[in-house]
Structure 1
Amino acid sequence: MAADLDVVLRARRAIVDGAEVAACVGVRGERIATITPYDDVPAATHTVDLGDDEVLLPGLVDTHVHVNEPGRTEWEGFATATRAAAAGGVTTIVDMPLNSVPPTTTVEHLDMKRGVAEGQVTVDVGFWGGAVPDNVEDLEPLHRAGVFGVKCFLLDSGVEEFGALSAEEFALAMREIARIDGLMLVHAEVGELLDETALDGPHYAGFLASRPRAAEDAAIALVVDQARATGGRAHIVHLSSSDAVPMLHAARADGVDVSVETCPHYLTFAAEEVADGATELKCCPPIREAENREALWGALDAGDIDFVVSDHSPCTVDLKRQGGGDFGAAWGGIASVQVGLSSVWTGARRRGHALTDVVRWMATAPADRVGLSHKGRIEVGADADLVRFVPDEQFTVDVAALHHRNPVSAYAGRRLDGVVRETWLRGAPILLGAGDAPRGRLLRRGVR
């Protein structure tokens, strides 16, 4: 009798439906076809037995990645970013509308980006659009063209081609987003509350003081007010200020549709530990104090923060070290798509969390928020995006072993728990050797 399945992955530990179980995961074509008990092994052309030290996870879904291609491909590109994602257990990314040139603010620009990405991507890739001054009329066409939502800034984005929205422009954009049932992502800082006079060259304390929590909190209040007034869906990217959590909790209790993410670097590092001149740790909003970090962990535990994504935001080494360690001059952004899983797991297990929590935060919840219900989970009918993960093995981050384009990382030299041994995309392992053809697809909202 011919085998019914192409492959069965047999694991003593697998994360299925929010629990860790022993299971056989059967794959037919590109999808999960069966899930059976460990000792009930269905017939398959090929059976893979995971090691006793390995846990089978769903592929992670990282909805906050800056690929930067076209236009700033020397910073990062689709080939390098998606290889780094695969090496880190990420099987789906959604690309931010900046810092590419042109930014993804029109359908024409979206088509350009898709054209460049086609044939380069090692994992599946979706796209965000951008909301900038004077492009309200472009939001519905972008939505129809399949972007997963649009992102805006409420202060200078750092690149001139992606302008910030004023409070009035943001209100107009939110009304349009509500009308078309889109999703508005917001970089939530208010520029008027920044204090550049606090900058103090290589001293991190000055940079931190220049971007206070109040700037973040005020912007989040504006987003909540507009989501409440319009009925539109909003999402706060890269939450850094734990002071905003009670406001977000109250808004959601009132039925306001606003979600929030944080990032591995805010859960890993603390301001008190940032050395003078260590601009590889510069990001906006900034890494804050240790007590703030622990409050973010508490908010994740309570469900007040929905998920964790990388905000992978790379640049060239020269830009990162611009000014010779001057936090005011260096480019802000942390490249972390390859180490996010290990970083979060390292912090999570030390605070009593399980791998089931990490999978919810980094796979299922981000997939659900953007409408990718067939990603980020091990269940029948889902894409067979899978990861062989060794939670108890440690490694030291070596920038030379990272696949993103430029050899700079905030995690360099850091000891982390958890090693990705293999990543599968839609039913087959991803091979990262030279000459292996990329198999990633370009995704559209609402289209499987």
Structure 2
Amino acid sequence: MTEYLIHSKRCFIDNQFIEATLHIKNGKIFKIFSGSYHDNNMPFQDYGNLIVMPGIIDAHVHINEPGREDWEGFDTATKAAAVGGVTTLIEMPLNASPVTTNSKAFKLKQEASKDKLHVNCGFYGGTIPSNSNDIEDLIQDGVFGIKGFLTHSGIDEFPNVSKEDLEAIAPILKKHNIPLLLHCELSDDKVPEVINPKNYQEYLNSRPQHWETNAIDLALDIQKRFDIKVHIVHLSASEGIERIKKRKQETNKLTVETCAHYLYFNAESILDESTIYKCAPPIREKENNNKLWNFLLEDGFNFLASDHSPAPPERKQLESGDFFKAWGGISGLQFTLPILFTEGKKRGLSTEKLIVLLTKRPAEFLGIEHKKGNLIAGFDADITVWDDTETYKISKDSIQHKHKATPYLNKMVFGKVIHTFVNGVQVVENSKLKSLQQGQLLLKSR
């Protein structure tokens, strides 16, 4: 079907739900009709009271291909994305091997994604101490931003950068108006000695809030002195909120995200040896996470993401239960919408606000708001259709990720993705994959 009509009593248009009919033609939203509109020459999809909204844009995903396809890969990750209503994702420069820190590695990654993209996919480049001369090439090649770590990344081939490294590349980022994305943890030796590595509280204590706030202070200093775009990924420390708020009042070049797992889980409910919950920065206490929710409800976060960072069960140390040896990453690309919708219902988060945080806002951050993130005539027909009344249990057989191990397994959630359209093609029908390889490679236009 290259031309057809989609109708719902609840299309999300201009930040509100209205009855409308979308005329889809050649991969784009050709026209939008108010109310119900029929044309005998075109198929008419009537979705009744289901929510029809722009496809979700996940701007923080680790796919790990090439080199670590046994962790995840483009095929499985983008299938999971499609089933979860994610129509566009941006992939991080690690944990592929080689890491995406120069043009050659970036071309290898694009090649690796060939014939495996079931949703649209763009990429970030990486900054490490030795590649300041490669940053401009990566930008020219079309990355959407440059990502760096201020503490050990977990893999040796992607070492953390120093303040001096960031000062060296800041003028290049300024010249091209490209964001610097920072993993904000700055490690020091002010942490207690580990007595029981299987104890979650000990793992939590090993990555204290001040690691995050010290790193945020460094990030804000770089942002201010060089007047560049800086994006703080996966904020987990509520002690960072006030300094972020203050700087945001002074500039529109500072952005911040958090992730579903920091909003859904709490340290108090994580049992010892439950390494499936390990991530960095860690899932913190209930009181901390309530403050993240308050910040979200006050429009503090620019957007929300999954930080999907999967690994094989043995890398997660699921048998040993050792938090200090386990890979730190949550597998959750497929479940961002139902997890946030379920918890948001309890917190007073409106569905309208949630949709904007998953669609329009990440599109703006990535500079693709002229073609994605909204249901507007002329935009790409990336569309997610979901039932906000359906309750279901996340089951192993529904998981499209390469590995089924996820802390969301067996959770009862609200909100089921029913249909997904990517570039005008229906890729998911009745929550099942229908048409593959419809995603496009996205490069940031220079």
Q: How many angstroms does 1:446 deviate by?
A: 2.2
Tell me whether 326-335 or 175-184 shows the greater mean CA deviation.
175-184
**Secondary structure in 2 aligned to 1:85?**
helix
Indicate which of 76, 82, 85 corresponds to 1:86.
82
Match of 1:215 among 205, 211, 216: 211
Matched, 1:103 2:99: yes
Q: 1:26, 1:42 within 8 Å by CA — same for their partners in 2? A: no
Q: Which amino acid aligns with 2:134?
A: D
Say whether the 8 Å CA contact 1:64–1:311 is kept in structure 2.
yes
- Over residues 1-29 of structure 1, what are the superposed CA-to-partner deviations in whole Å (9 max), with x where a residue is unaligned? xx9x8111110111111111111111111
Question: Aligned to 2:398, which of 382, 398, 401?
Answer: 401
Measured at CA, do residues 367 and 43 of structure 1 come closer, stay the same or move farther in structure 2, by a change above 3 Å? Answer: farther
Aligned equivalents of 2:436, 2:24: Cα separation in 1: 21
* 1:60/1:363 contact within 8 Å kept: yes
User: Which residue of the partner structure matches residue 437 of structure 2?
Assistant: 438
Q: How many residues align?
A: 443
Deviates more, 1:91-100 or 1:398-407: 398-407
Note the C-alpha offset of 1:412. Answer: 1.1
Q: Is 1:378 paired with 2:382?
A: no
Query: In structure 1, what is the equivalent of residue 242 of structure 2?
Result: 246
- 2:420 paired residue number: 423
Give distance in 2, aligned partners of 1:182 and 1:270.
Answer: 34
Verify: 1:271 aligned to 2:270, yes or no: no
Q: Distance in 2 between matches of 1:279 and 1:59?
A: 32
Distance 1:345 1:322, change over 3 A: closer
Q: How high is the TM-score relative to the length of structure 2?
A: 0.96
Amino acid at match of 1:11: S
- Identify the match of residue 331 of structure 2 among 329, 335, 338: 335
8 Å contact from structure 1 (residues 16, 378) kept in 2: yes
Shift of 1:195: 2.4
Tell me, what secondary structure is at the counterpart of 1:152?
Answer: strand
Using the TM superposition, give the Cα deviation of residue 437 of structure 1 relative to its aligned residue in structure 2, in angstroms. 3.7
Task: Give the 3-state SS of the residue equivalent to 1:217 in structure 2.
Answer: helix
Instruction: Give CA deviations for 1:394-420 in whole Å, capped at 9, x if unaligned.
Output: 111113320010120011111111000
SS at match of 2:307: coil
Pick from 313, 316, 321 the counterpart of residue 317 of structure 2.
321
Q: Please tell me the residue identity of whatever aligns with 1:259.
A: T
Quick check: 90-99 or 296-305, which moved more?
296-305
Change (3 A) 1:369 1:43: farther
Per the TM alignment, residue 123 of structure 1 is displaced from its structure 2 partner at its CA by 0.2
Sequence identity (%): 33
What is the identity, as a one-letter code, of the residue corresponding to 2:159? Answer: G
Q: 1:227, 1:256 within 8 Å by CA — same for their partners in 2?
A: no
Structure 2 distance, partners of 1:194, 1:146, is: 40
Matching residue within 172, 179, 183 for 2:175 = 179
Aligned to 2:58: 62
What's the offset of the Cα at 1:144? 0.7
**Cα deviation per residue 1:37-61 (whole Å; 9 max; x = unaligned)?**
1134456511100033x11121000
Partners of 1:195 and 1:369 lie apart in 2 by 35
C-alpha RMSD of the superposition: 1.8
Contact 1:88 1:341 in 2 (8 A): yes
Residue 363 of structure 1 corresponds to 359
Residue 103 of structure 1: how far off its partner (Å): 0.5
**What residue ranges of structure 2 are gaps of 5+ in the alignment?**
none
Name which of structure 1's ranges 363-372 and 426-435 shifts more when overlaid on structure 2.
426-435
Q: Can you list the C-alpha shifts for 1:321-357, whole angstroms capped at 9, x where unaligned?
A: 2661111111110010101110000011222222211
| 1:375 counterpart letter in structure 2 | K
Give the Cα–Cα distance (whole angstroms) in 2 for the partners of residues 259 and 367 of structure 1.
13
Aligned-partner Cα distance in 2 for 1:313–1:399: 18
Deviation by residue 1:425-446 (Cα, 9 ceiling, x = unmatched)? 1112104878954111100112
Who is 1:134 aligned against? 130
TM-score, length of structure 1 as denominator length: 0.95
Q: CA deviation at 1:179?
A: 2.5
Letter paired with 2:25: R
* SS at 1:191 equivalent: coil
Q: 1:46 to 1:193 in 2, by over 3 A?
A: farther
Matched, 1:115 2:115: no
* Aligned 8 A contact 1:199 1:209 in 2: no
- CA gap of 1:211–1:442, structure 2 versus 1, over 3 A, is same
- In the aligned structure 2, how far is the partner of 1:349 from the partner of 1:435? 30
User: Partners in 1 of 2:189 and 2:223 — Cα distance?
Assistant: 22
CA apart distance, 1:193:
5.5
Could you say if the C-alpha distance between residues 193 and 58 of structure 1 is closer, same or farther in structure 2, counting changes exceeding 3 Å? farther
Q: Which residue identity is paired with 2:46?
A: D
Query: Offset at 1:132?
Result: 0.5
Q: Shift in Å at residue 199 of structure 1?
A: 6.0
Counterpart code for 2:307: D
Of 160, 163, 178, 1:164 maps to 160
Give how far 1:170 is off.
Answer: 1.9
Please say if 1:286 is aligned against 2:290.
Answer: no
CA distance in 1, matches of 2:298, 2:227: 25
The 2-side partners of 1:194 and 1:422 are apart by 49
Alignment of 1:32 with 2:29, yes or no, is yes
Give the direction of change, closer, same or farther, for the CA distance of 1:445–1:39 in structure 2 (3 Å limit): same
- Contact 1:8–1:44 (CA under 8 A) maintained in structure 2: no
1:391 is matched with 388
Aligned residue for 1:35, secondary structure, equals strand
Describe the superposition over 1:290-316 as per-residue Cα deviations: whole angstroms up to 9, x where unpaired: 111111111111121111000000000
For 1:436 and 1:263, how far apart are their aligned partners in 2?
29
Would the aligned equivalents of 1:231 and 1:256 in 2 still touch at CA under 8 Å?
Answer: no
Contact 2:7 2:48 in 1 (8 A): no
The aligned residue for residue 409 of structure 2 is 412
Change (3 A) 1:96 1:129: same
CA separation in 1, counterparts of 2:195 and 2:443? 42
| Aligned residue identity for 1:203 | N
Distance 2:189 2:42 in 1: 62
For 2:22 and 2:289, the matched residues in 1 are separated by: 37
CA contact (8 A) 2:426 2:434 kept: no
